[in-house]
Amino acid sequence: MPHLLIFGLGYTTKRLAERLRSDGWQVTGTRREASDGAIAFDSEAEVRAAIDEATHIISSVPPDRNGAEPVLDRYGDNIKTASLQWTGYLSSTGVYGDVKGAWVDESAPIGSGRRKARSRADLGWQALRDDVRVLRLPGIYGPGRNPITRVQQGRAKRIDVPGQVFSRIHVDDIVAAIIASFDGPAGAYNIADDLPAPQHDVIAHAARLIGVVPPPLLSLEDADLSASALGFYEENRRVANGKAKRLLHWKPIYPDYKSGMAGLVE
């Protein structure tokens, strides 16, 4: 029986675990506790034993607030020498930094933007083993975590920054890409849909789908965003997904935000 060990059971990896268990896989994972902002694992001896038993390993654990990569720091040597069929790491398209709205593929340099720690982690995982697949993800949405929910809760803001676009991906398309990569070549892959779009267009469409008036269009200055949220608007890029389509034979189930949100409404 194939056995996937997940470091960091979060929104996406829980969805992956459900899918693989339904296909007959054994899936185990580490717990993540965020009460004090730190990442906590089960007994290290238990985790090392699970590494030895696993056929596949994936990590979704981001760098900590000090910029360290906790999984590599703690278990990198064990993972490096383990007898695995596949190793995966969920990274971020934020590693590309700001390219003024241009298209970026996996040949673009990384590490120039605000995600420097993530870029180091991305490269660290690639260097760990010959079988590592790094999946670089943009904004993730899906059941329970999407623009429709934010509109319903009154938390959605439509922000107009001329020329600004974001890429995004449905959680089920990430799961499909991970599974496709089991039989694909090692390397880094952008997993994004086909239609980068302005944030305010996405929110307006979500409102229309549920029959409510879209929130008013605000300037960035009037939106009163947190410093963290403002950071997203400092970078502008369109994420190309051609490599994953060619080498993994992956194709998004939801090629754009409109089809993705239509599925959520249904």
Question: Mind spelling out the 3-state secondary structure of the chain?
Answer: CCEEEEECCCHHHHHHHHHHHHCCCEEEECCCCCCCCCCCCCCHHHHHHHHHHCCEEEECCCCCCCCCCHHHHHHHHHHHHCCCCEEEEEEEHHHHCCCCCCEECCCCCCCCCCCHHHHHHHHHHHHHCCCEEEEEECEEEECCECHHHHHHCCCCCEECCCCCCECEEEHHHHHHHHHHHCCCCCEEEECCCCCCECHHHHHHHHHHHCCCCCCCEECCCCCCCCHHHHHHCCCCCEECCHHHHHHCCCCCCCCCHHHHHHHHHC
pLDDT on residue 119? 96
pLDDT on residue 74? 93
pLDDT on residue 215? 94
pLDDT on residue 228? 84
pLDDT on residue 33? 57
- Give the model confidence (pLDDT) of 96-149 as tens digits: 999 999 999 999 999 987 889 999 999 999 999 999 999 999 999 999 999 999
Q: What is the pTM of this model?
A: 0.94
pLDDT on residue 58? 98
**Does the pLDDT of residue 163 top 80, yes or no?**
yes
**Does the pLDDT of residue 34 top 90, yes or no?**
no
pLDDT on residue 227? 86
pLDDT on residue 115? 86
**Does the pLDDT of residue 151 top 60, yes or no?**
yes
**Does the pLDDT of residue 247 top 70, yes or no?**
yes
pLDDT on residue 113? 79
User: Of all residues in the chain, what percent carry a pLDDT higher than 90?
Assistant: 85
pLDDT on residue 43? 80
Provide the pLDDT confidence category of residue 42 given band limits of 50, 70 and 90. low
Lowest mean pLDDT: which of 7-21, 23-37, 72-86? 23-37
Overall average pLDDT of the 45-73 stretch: 93
pLDDT on residue 37? 41
Overall average pLDDT of the 190-207 stretch: 97
Phi, psi of 159, deg, nearest 5: -115, 125
pLDDT on residue 231? 86
